[in-house]
Chain A
């Protein structure tokens, strides 16, 4: 009985720490990506207001950079979701 209880406590511990890690991964990633997109978007609008004839050129670059900025965050999200639905760290307890 004691062993079963200890086992459940171990699982709960791993899940709890994983949940905290997921929050950190997604939260900090979103924070960084949003600041990045915000800075880039504001600069793009400034540049477009100053030189409207450069708009088409800048727009392409802006979308490219938006994708680059988003990518690290989305990789983080993918990793976090992987840990959320199928925690590989729990497998060490199964044996």
Chain B
């Protein structure tokens, strides 16, 4: 049922855009998107177990291929942090690594065939299942708001309450008392725009990518007979081409999310 469009492309896509929510709460605050939460948690656990196992078996001798890969990823993330942030990297480094690998894994769910997980879950009696957690705006906002709170925490920590308040009221224009309100307004706009743009960027990219996959899957499986099979073949080619291009987007978006998180947090450490 989920593999071919019934009642047209629109219905096929609308069916695929529905999240799995608990029966008790169809909408409102408690309509938790179980699919996003499950997939993201599973991927987080996989990431932690994978890196932990490699770290536990690490040798200073000739590294195995798995260890070399983990070291490469770790040094890449740490190098990016080192470029931006000059200070103690004991928290920011692991944070950047976690954000990068986790977001990357969640984005990589886009490379699974769009119908694979929905078909499997449908066998289990679950009607809607969306596999890509980062194509869920709640997920991306959850991550960006966490980064926002971290920036607040580090602002208070590195400047103290008074120092941070003075910066909020006097930072861009000057310390004349008439400029306090404009300063504060501008700082609030800056503060709010960061998590919003961070979340919207990741969400927009992943959502658009997922929709293109769905459009390809829906459009090219609509034919019948021999022409249908020819269309199907063209669909496979189109799906592959977009998939290969999407690998680039997946990596770049994970990378950007990591770098911008690090930049925002290290900006919180800067004194004006």
Contacts and interface: CB of A to CB of B under 8 A. Distances in A.
B6 to A, nearest CB: 15
Interface in A6-28: none
A85 B211 contact: yes
A63 B14 contact: no
Contacts, number: 62
Contacts of A60: 80
A85 B7 CA distance: 13
B13 A86 contact: yes
Given A85-B9, A85-B14, A78 B204 contact: yes
Contacts of B255: 63-64, 67
B205 A68 contact: no
Interface string A50-77: 0000000000100110111011001111
Contacts of B212: 81
Interface residues of A, number: 18
A3 to B, nearest CB: 24
A75 to B, nearest CB: 3
Given A64-B252, A67-B252, A86-B17, 16 more contacts: A60-B80, A67-B249, A67-B255, A74-B205, A74-B209, A74-B249, A77-B208, A78-B205, A78-B208, A78-B211, A79-B204, A81-B212, A85-B9, A85-B13, A85-B211, A86-B10
Nearest to A65: B256
A85 B187 CA distance: 39
A64 B14 contact: no
Given A85-B13, A86-B14, A64 B204 contact: no
Contacts of B259: 64
Contacts of B207: 78, 82
Contact of B208 (A64, A67, A74): A74
6 contacts: A60-B80, A64-B259, A74-B205, A75-B201, A78-B204, A78-B211
